[in-house]
Amino acid sequence: MKQFVTKQHHEQALESLNELIRIPSVLDEADTGKGHPFGTKVDDIQLQLYEASHTHLLLKKIEEKEDSLLFCLIKPLLMKNYNQSMLTTRKLILEGYTFEEVMKIRKIKKGTVTDHLIEWQLYFDDFPYETMISEKTMKRLSQLTNVRTWNYRELNEKEPLDYGEFRFYQIGVLKGEIIDDVAS
Protein backbone atom coordinates (compact mmCIF):
# COMPACT_ATOMS: atom_id res chain seq x y z
CA MET A 1 0.00 0.00 0.00
CA LYS A 2 2.79 2.43 0.96
CA GLN A 3 4.51 1.89 -2.42
CA PHE A 4 1.22 2.54 -4.25
CA VAL A 5 0.64 5.82 -2.37
CA THR A 6 4.22 6.94 -2.95
CA LYS A 7 4.03 6.04 -6.65
CA GLN A 8 0.67 7.83 -6.98
CA HIS A 9 2.06 10.99 -5.30
CA HIS A 10 5.17 10.81 -7.46
CA GLU A 11 3.07 10.59 -10.63
CA GLN A 12 0.83 13.43 -9.44
CA ALA A 13 3.83 15.63 -8.69
CA LEU A 14 5.32 14.93 -12.12
CA GLU A 15 2.00 15.73 -13.80
CA SER A 16 1.73 19.01 -11.87
CA LEU A 17 5.28 20.00 -12.73
CA ASN A 18 4.76 19.16 -16.41
CA GLU A 19 1.74 21.46 -16.43
CA LEU A 20 3.76 24.25 -14.83
CA ILE A 21 6.43 23.89 -17.50
CA ARG A 22 3.72 24.68 -20.06
CA ILE A 23 2.56 27.78 -18.13
CA PRO A 24 5.25 30.19 -19.43
CA SER A 25 3.83 29.87 -22.94
CA VAL A 26 0.36 30.61 -21.54
CA LEU A 27 1.77 33.62 -19.70
CA ASP A 28 3.49 34.89 -22.84
CA GLU A 29 0.23 34.57 -24.75
CA ALA A 30 -1.45 36.72 -22.09
CA ASP A 31 0.91 39.60 -22.86
CA THR A 32 -0.03 41.90 -25.69
CA GLY A 33 3.53 42.59 -26.77
CA LYS A 34 6.73 40.65 -27.19
CA GLY A 35 9.01 40.30 -24.21
CA HIS A 36 8.57 42.76 -21.37
CA PRO A 37 5.39 44.79 -21.99
CA PHE A 38 6.89 48.08 -20.85
CA GLY A 39 9.45 50.40 -22.32
CA THR A 40 12.76 51.21 -20.68
CA LYS A 41 11.20 53.49 -18.08
CA VAL A 42 9.03 51.25 -15.92
CA ASP A 43 6.55 52.78 -13.51
CA ASP A 44 6.72 50.91 -10.19
CA ILE A 45 2.97 50.26 -10.10
CA GLN A 46 3.08 48.85 -13.64
CA LEU A 47 5.96 46.53 -12.82
CA GLN A 48 4.21 45.45 -9.63
CA LEU A 49 1.02 44.81 -11.60
CA TYR A 50 2.91 42.88 -14.29
CA GLU A 51 4.59 40.63 -11.72
CA ALA A 52 1.40 40.20 -9.68
CA SER A 53 -0.67 39.29 -12.73
CA HIS A 54 1.83 36.63 -13.82
CA THR A 55 2.09 35.25 -10.30
CA HIS A 56 -1.71 35.28 -10.16
CA LEU A 57 -1.94 33.31 -13.43
CA LEU A 58 0.56 30.74 -12.15
CA LEU A 59 -1.27 30.32 -8.84
CA LYS A 60 -4.62 30.17 -10.62
CA LYS A 61 -3.35 27.24 -12.71
CA ILE A 62 -2.20 25.45 -9.56
CA GLU A 63 -5.48 26.21 -7.74
CA GLU A 64 -7.52 24.70 -10.60
CA LYS A 65 -6.31 21.27 -9.51
CA GLU A 66 -7.30 21.20 -5.84
CA ASP A 67 -6.66 17.47 -5.63
CA SER A 68 -3.06 17.77 -6.83
CA LEU A 69 -0.10 17.31 -4.55
CA LEU A 70 1.31 20.69 -5.58
CA PHE A 71 -1.88 22.46 -4.50
CA CYS A 72 -1.89 20.61 -1.17
CA LEU A 73 1.69 21.72 -0.59
CA ILE A 74 1.11 25.42 -1.29
CA LYS A 75 -2.42 25.86 0.08
CA PRO A 76 -1.26 26.94 3.56
CA LEU A 77 1.13 29.43 1.96
CA LEU A 78 -1.63 30.84 -0.24
CA MET A 79 -3.84 31.61 2.73
CA LYS A 80 -0.96 32.95 4.81
CA ASN A 81 0.26 35.12 1.92
CA TYR A 82 -2.90 37.19 1.72
CA ASN A 83 -2.99 40.20 4.00
CA GLN A 84 -5.57 39.18 6.59
CA SER A 85 -6.56 42.80 7.17
CA MET A 86 -7.20 43.17 3.43
CA LEU A 87 -9.35 40.05 3.50
CA THR A 88 -11.44 41.57 6.31
CA THR A 89 -11.92 44.77 4.29
CA ARG A 90 -12.80 42.71 1.21
CA LYS A 91 -15.35 40.68 3.17
CA LEU A 92 -17.09 43.84 4.42
CA ILE A 93 -17.24 45.37 0.92
CA LEU A 94 -18.63 42.11 -0.50
CA GLU A 95 -21.27 42.16 2.26
CA GLY A 96 -22.41 45.54 0.95
CA TYR A 97 -20.69 48.01 3.25
CA THR A 98 -19.51 51.26 1.66
CA PHE A 99 -15.93 52.53 1.67
CA GLU A 100 -16.80 55.03 4.42
CA GLU A 101 -18.62 52.40 6.52
CA VAL A 102 -15.58 50.12 6.33
CA MET A 103 -13.38 52.99 7.58
CA LYS A 104 -15.73 53.57 10.50
CA ILE A 105 -16.30 49.89 11.40
CA ARG A 106 -12.61 49.00 11.23
CA LYS A 107 -11.38 52.33 12.62
CA ILE A 108 -8.82 52.69 9.84
CA LYS A 109 -7.81 55.59 7.61
CA LYS A 110 -8.91 56.16 4.02
CA GLY A 111 -5.39 55.41 2.73
CA THR A 112 -5.37 52.05 4.50
CA VAL A 113 -8.72 51.04 2.99
CA THR A 114 -7.46 52.20 -0.43
CA ASP A 115 -4.31 50.06 0.00
CA HIS A 116 -6.47 47.05 0.92
CA LEU A 117 -8.66 47.57 -2.13
CA ILE A 118 -5.65 47.86 -4.45
CA GLU A 119 -4.23 44.64 -2.99
CA TRP A 120 -7.62 42.95 -3.48
CA GLN A 121 -7.71 44.21 -7.04
CA LEU A 122 -4.24 42.82 -7.78
CA TYR A 123 -4.84 39.34 -6.32
CA PHE A 124 -8.50 38.59 -7.04
CA ASP A 125 -10.83 38.84 -10.03
CA ASP A 126 -13.98 39.93 -8.19
CA PHE A 127 -13.22 43.62 -7.59
CA PRO A 128 -16.46 45.68 -7.61
CA TYR A 129 -15.47 48.46 -10.02
CA GLU A 130 -19.03 49.75 -10.33
CA THR A 131 -19.20 50.62 -6.62
CA MET A 132 -15.59 51.71 -6.15
CA ILE A 133 -15.30 54.13 -9.09
CA SER A 134 -17.83 56.92 -9.56
CA GLU A 135 -19.53 57.43 -12.92
CA LYS A 136 -17.91 60.86 -13.13
CA THR A 137 -14.41 59.39 -12.72
CA MET A 138 -15.17 56.54 -15.14
CA LYS A 139 -16.31 59.02 -17.76
CA ARG A 140 -13.36 61.35 -17.22
CA LEU A 141 -10.66 58.67 -17.30
CA SER A 142 -12.21 56.84 -20.24
CA GLN A 143 -11.55 59.96 -22.35
CA LEU A 144 -7.78 59.77 -21.78
CA THR A 145 -5.31 57.83 -23.89
CA ASN A 146 -2.42 55.51 -22.98
CA VAL A 147 -3.14 54.48 -19.39
CA ARG A 148 0.55 53.68 -18.79
CA THR A 149 1.58 57.34 -19.05
CA TRP A 150 -1.04 58.81 -16.72
CA ASN A 151 0.23 61.01 -13.91
CA TYR A 152 -2.07 61.43 -10.91
CA ARG A 153 -0.69 64.82 -9.86
CA GLU A 154 -1.17 66.32 -13.31
CA LEU A 155 -4.74 65.03 -13.60
CA ASN A 156 -5.58 66.11 -10.05
CA GLU A 157 -4.29 69.65 -10.71
CA LYS A 158 -6.63 70.03 -13.70
CA GLU A 159 -9.65 68.82 -11.75
CA PRO A 160 -9.77 67.14 -8.30
CA LEU A 161 -9.60 63.37 -8.59
CA ASP A 162 -9.77 60.71 -5.86
CA TYR A 163 -6.45 58.83 -5.77
CA GLY A 164 -8.10 55.48 -5.06
CA GLU A 165 -10.54 55.78 -7.94
CA PHE A 166 -7.66 56.81 -10.22
CA ARG A 167 -5.61 53.72 -9.31
CA PHE A 168 -8.61 51.37 -9.37
CA TYR A 169 -9.42 52.50 -12.91
CA GLN A 170 -5.81 52.40 -14.08
CA ILE A 171 -5.19 48.91 -12.69
CA GLY A 172 -8.55 47.70 -14.02
CA VAL A 173 -7.61 48.77 -17.55
CA LEU A 174 -4.12 47.27 -17.28
CA LYS A 175 -5.56 43.96 -15.99
CA GLY A 176 -8.10 43.94 -18.81
CA GLU A 177 -11.01 43.99 -16.36
CA ILE A 178 -12.15 47.42 -17.54
CA ILE A 179 -12.44 47.44 -21.29
CA ASP A 180 -11.43 50.85 -22.49
CA ASP A 181 -10.32 51.06 -26.12
CA VAL A 182 -9.17 54.67 -25.74
CA ALA A 183 -7.08 54.29 -22.57
CA SER A 184 -5.33 51.02 -23.40
- Give pLDDT tens digits for 106-130: 999 999 999 999 999 988 889 999 9
- Judgement on whether residues 106 and 134 belong to the same structural domain of the protein: no
- Judgement on whether residues 103 and 148 belong to the same structural domain of the protein: no
Domain containing residue 114 = 82-123
The reported pTM is 0.60
Q: What separation, in Å, do the N-terminal and C-terminal C-alpha atoms of the chain show?
A: 56
> Given 123, 139, 154, which residue is the final one in a domain?
123
- Judgement on whether residues 6 and 70 belong to the same structural domain of the protein: yes
Kindly report which listed range (33-42, 69-78, 89-98) carries the lowest average pLDDT score: 33-42
- Judgement on whether residues 165 and 184 belong to the same structural domain of the protein: yes
35 domain residue, yes or no: no
How many domains does the structure of the chain reveal?
A: 3
pLDDT band at 32, cuts 50/70/90?
very low
pLDDT at 41 over 60: no
pLDDT of residue 105: 96
pLDDT band at 12, cuts 50/70/90?
low
Write the pLDDT tens digit of every residue in 53-85.
777 677 778 878 878 888 888 877 766 667 889
- Judgement on whether residues 178 and 145 belong to the same structural domain of the protein: yes
141 domain residue, yes or no: yes
Percent of the chain with pLDDT over 70: 70
Phi, psi of 107 (to 5 degrees): 55, 50
d(CA 112, CA 101) in angstroms, rounded, equals 13
39 domain residue, yes or no: no
34 domain residue, yes or no: no
pLDDT at 147 over 50: yes
d(CA 119, CA 11) in angstroms, rounded, equals 36
d(CA 152, CA 163) in angstroms, rounded, equals 7
Chain centroid to CA 59: 12
d(CA 17, CA 65) in angstroms, rounded, equals 12
pLDDT of residue 6: 58
pLDDT of residue 64: 80
- Judgement on whether residues 108 and 168 belong to the same structural domain of the protein: no
pLDDT of residue 1: 44
Task: Tell me the H-state helices in the chain.
Answer: 2-30, 44-63, 69-81, 84-94, 99-106, 110-123, 129-132, 135-142, 152-158, 163-175
28 domain residue, yes or no: no
